[in-house]
Structure 1
């Protein structure tokens, strides 16, 4: 891929696929804007192959910004063609673009290029483009890096926009989160066979409904061949205890997003559970996962600081190595 701020590979321009990833749209959308609105590249190689320059990309970025405000695509394309600079006429109300439901954008300036594309696709509520971009970033970087460096910062950028301005981006957050879960499950390989005494049980503690980070951990472990049983959000105490008794996991990961949901007594209770024949009893290694445990970790129980550390810790306990 070309450098994020450069005109393209070896100064020859970007391909349509590269442009689409930067903008957060499907390649078919880029081609459609070329065909319908005359926003195509000025450089073509071999007669039909499109190569997009920095100026071409700036026009398309302006097109995305204007359509995000609710402006019809044809009008947005006209303004994008007329404005020589992507910063010219930035405020949509100056061109009469202000309208019902208008948005000013997430402005994900601190994100990697892939994150900017994800943010734009999420803001437009474009499912096809979002799925394609998520699948690409996971395939290109692997699950742990894709989550840590691209997906999570994008989710945080949307959340900061909502908190800073009061604009209700709840639907964008929910939309993006739902598609992230879908991408995680598409990327995860078929679960390996569960071997007795060599599986990990993952669950959110009772009252904890923020399960997305635990979904990421489950997918990352599956990607590395770790047998897991995933129980998701807000597993009641009785159900958690029964699941541990029935499956005999070697590791139990308890996720807590907030301090209000983290429970030291519960973690201690699960860590003290035993099974097996008398004289050869086994206990699980309980890992306290998530920011809810910060400042109230349980002595003797591992508390990985992030996703990569959690993957390493679970794999070590389960006994799965490279």
Structure 2
């Protein structure tokens, strides 16, 4: 609950009979804070059609659909009062008066105020165009849609809550694979299609994902001889978020990690491997222009340990940049779960199938 406020009808406690969703459950589905749902009810009349006894409110599918329209409209840039009017009157009959926020001044022109249910002219021309700014997530977990809505609205509080709940409920690997990655990919596609728009959404979402991974990962385990993993982006590569997910997932498995972040110079990477003697080295390349097979092969030949018992690290080529550049002895895991399994295999010395080899 944000700001220390207790939600009387949040999920987790016994709810009233009669079915329907609690305000807390509705908020999680929408990707907003419970206080936002209550504010929309109080200011714009977007509350449940029927109330049960006591303080509890139960939301029907029709109530939820109305709030989903509200979320979609505000995500396009419409002011909340205008979005609420359209959400309450989805077929455009104009049968209800415009919904106004009593805490905000009335900025309508005299003509607009005189025509009940009319959109301001400037907004009416752009409503249909802006309504098509959805991310096109497809068939994904419900939590993914909530995260996407929160990211589009630049709603930091809701985004942090939803990311944290996804990680706690599903674990780091499943949360990354089934909730976080689909949203990041959808935002990336939206950015590519819209000509540099939505860059702020991508940066905003990435920053909060990074923070959530750090907050919810266990403390870095103590080093164990021969069990350490070195993670780094190849030179000129700055996309660190997937490596942060891998580092968090390895910590969740109790495997020690050294994370070196983006664009690590070759000489620094070599020095890090020699100094730490890792069982595995993960090299991330987002683009084919940064992936270097000779570099990966060079790292794979570095030996460490005492004379007579020297070892070499298993080098994992991670990321789409390595497509078509893999070679025998350079495993290329297909996803986060496979990467964690490959590192665990290298750390324990147990053989495991390696996708992409």
TM > 0.5 fold call: yes
Check conservation: 2:232, 2:263, Cα contact below 8 A. yes
Check conservation: 1:114, 1:150, Cα contact below 8 A. yes
* Equivalent-residue separation in structure 1 for 2:194 and 2:120 (angstroms): 18
Aligned partner of 2:59 in structure 1 is 52
* Equivalent-residue separation in structure 2 for 1:243 and 1:68 (angstroms): 45
SS at match of 1:252: strand
Aligned partner of 1:250 in structure 2 is 279
1:20-99 map, 5 Å:
20-83=27-90, 96=124, 98=126
Aligned partner of 1:207 in structure 2 is 236
1:137-148 map, 5 Å:
137-148=166-177
Q: Could you report, residue by residue, the CA deviation over 1:15-64 in whole angstroms, capped at 9, with x for unpaired residues?
A: 11221122111111111111222211123334211111111111111212
Please state how far the C-alpha of 1:308 moved relative to its aligned partner.
Answer: 0.7
Aligned partner of 1:108 in structure 2 is 136
Q: Could you report, residue by residue, the CA deviation over 1:199-218 in whole angstroms, capped at 9, with x for unpaired residues?
A: 11111111111111111111
Check conservation: 1:21, 1:117, Cα contact below 8 A. yes
Check conservation: 2:73, 2:131, Cα contact below 8 A. no
1:81-230 map, 5 Å:
81-83=88-90, 96=124, 98=126, 104-110=132-138, 111-166=140-195, 168-230=197-259
Check conservation: 2:137, 2:182, Cα contact below 8 A. no
* Equivalent-residue separation in structure 2 for 1:95 and 1:286 (angstroms): 55
Aligned CA-pair RMSD: 2.6
1:234-313 map, 5 Å:
234-313=263-342
TM normalised by structure 1 equals 0.88
Check conservation: 2:229, 2:258, Cα contact below 8 A. yes
Q: 1:288 to 1:69 in 2, by over 3 A?
A: closer
* Equivalent-residue separation in structure 2 for 1:108 and 1:137 (angstroms): 20
Please state how far the C-alpha of 1:238 moved relative to its aligned partner.
Answer: 0.7
Q: Could you report, residue by residue, the CA deviation over 1:72-120 in whole angstroms, capped at 9, with x for unpaired residues?
A: 22232233223369xxx9x998963849xx6743243503221111111
SS at match of 1:257: coil
* Equivalent-residue separation in structure 1 for 2:66 and 2:20 (angstroms): 14
Check conservation: 1:69, 1:92, Cα contact below 8 A. no
* Equivalent-residue separation in structure 2 for 1:27 and 1:148 (angstroms): 26
* Equivalent-residue separation in structure 2 for 1:42 and 1:221 (angstroms): 47
* Equivalent-residue separation in structure 1 for 2:314 and 2:73 (angstroms): 53
Moved more, 54-63 or 273-282: 273-282
Check conservation: 2:222, 2:256, Cα contact below 8 A. yes
Check conservation: 2:146, 2:162, Cα contact below 8 A. yes
Q: Which runs of 5+ in 2 are unaligned?
A: 1-15, 93-116, 351-357
Please state how far the C-alpha of 1:156 moved relative to its aligned partner.
Answer: 1.2
Check conservation: 2:233, 2:261, Cα contact below 8 A. yes
Q: Does structure 1 residue 232 correspond to structure 2 residue 261?
A: yes
Check conservation: 1:92, 1:98, Cα contact below 8 A. no
Aligned residues: 308
* Equivalent-residue separation in structure 2 for 1:266 and 1:92 (angstroms): 60
Q: Which runs of 5+ in 1 are unaligned?
A: 1-8
Check conservation: 1:108, 1:119, Cα contact below 8 A. no
Q: 1:167 to 1:294 in 2, by over 3 A?
A: closer
